[in-house]
Amino acid sequence: MIAPGEVERLLVCVLARELRDTDIVAFGLHAELLLAAALVAQRLHAPNLVIRHGLREERGAEIAPAAWTDNPRSRTHELIEYLEAHDVILDVASASPMRFCDVFLVGGLQIDREGSVNLIGIRGKDGRTAVRGPGSIGTTSIATLARRPILFSPEHTPRRFVETVDHVSVPGWKRRAAAGIDGGPILCVTPLAVMDFADGAMRLRSVHGHASLDEVRRRTGFRLSPDGPVPVTPPPSKAESDALEIVDPFGKLAGLGFRADGGAL
């Protein structure tokens, strides 16, 4: 039996471990996960990590799926750049787009083997769009220009993880290379597993302790290497758990309700 919030807290720790002291982190879909991860990383190993927050400083940095509120109890004193502050707007506007952020978390209706993401829609058997998504909005530019984008999906099923996406909102490794853009997504994180990339293709890095290797393979719509055993994702350490208690004192992460079996929410 998985306790409420256990999956979410594990995912925050997985993300926090990837963040560096020199990183600039910005938020898109599932902002609460990367915000929590950035705050944990600041406390444990990346004190100079910069968080680019989309709202006013007065709102603080409350972790909640509906963005941030005016709750005074959630005020933090972390290193955060509030984009509504005049000087920060000027700084971002005058900087190269490549410097807007190093790490950006992005998900979509579909994610494929090379790490391309589809936010536009899914085609039916007749070739027409059967399911419409939110569209690419600003995600395409930010995630494509980020130095180290991270992919995330709260659902780990064959309909989400496909051989080739129906539409490309954010390009993966091969498409980026074809367009002359260096790099590509460094991780793909789900409630079942952590994947990384080798030679432009997704592979398994670790499987979470509440899941199984067979389950992950069955729920992925393409072959994942390696064929042999895969390590278990390390659970939150004592230091990480203590940091999470500070970062999320009201248990907002548990309210995200990610399913431990990787099913649709």
The pLDDT tens digits of the residues spanning 102-132 come to 899 898 899 999 999 999 989 988 988 888 8
Q: What is the pLDDT of residue 34?
A: 86
Q: What is the pLDDT of residue 182?
A: 84
Report whether pLDDT(172) > 90. Answer: yes
- Calculate the alpha carbon distances from 17 to 45, 49, 92, 108, 230 in Å: 9, 12, 26, 23, 19
Which residue has better confidence, 202 or 56?
Answer: 202
Q: What is the pLDDT of residue 55?
A: 45
Q: What is the pLDDT of residue 90?
A: 37
State the average pLDDT over residues 44-68. Answer: 62
| Highest mean pLDDT of the ranges 49-53, 137-141, 234-238 | 234-238
129-132 and 121-123 strand pairing: antiparallel
Which residue has better confidence, 72 or 63?
Answer: 63
Which residue has better confidence, 131 or 91?
Answer: 131
Q: What is the pLDDT of residue 64?
A: 46
Report whether pLDDT(72) > 60. Answer: no
The pTM of the whole model exceeds 0.95:
no
Q: What is the pLDDT of residue 166?
A: 95
Per domain, the residue ranges of the chain are 6-256
Report the percent of the chain where pLDDT is more than 90: 55
Taking the C-alpha atoms of residue 140 and residue 203, their distance in angstroms, rounded to an integer, is 23
Which residue has better confidence, 256 or 70?
Answer: 256
Average pLDDT over all residues of the chain: 83
CA 175 to chain centre: 20
Strand partners, 103: 25
Q: What is the pLDDT of residue 99?
A: 53
Strand partners, 82: 53
**The CATH number of domain 6-256, selected from 3.40.718.10, 3.40.1360.10, 3.30.300.130, 3.40.1080.10:** 3.40.1080.10
Closest CA to 252 of 82, 67, 51, 116: 67
State the average pLDDT over residues 133-159. Answer: 86
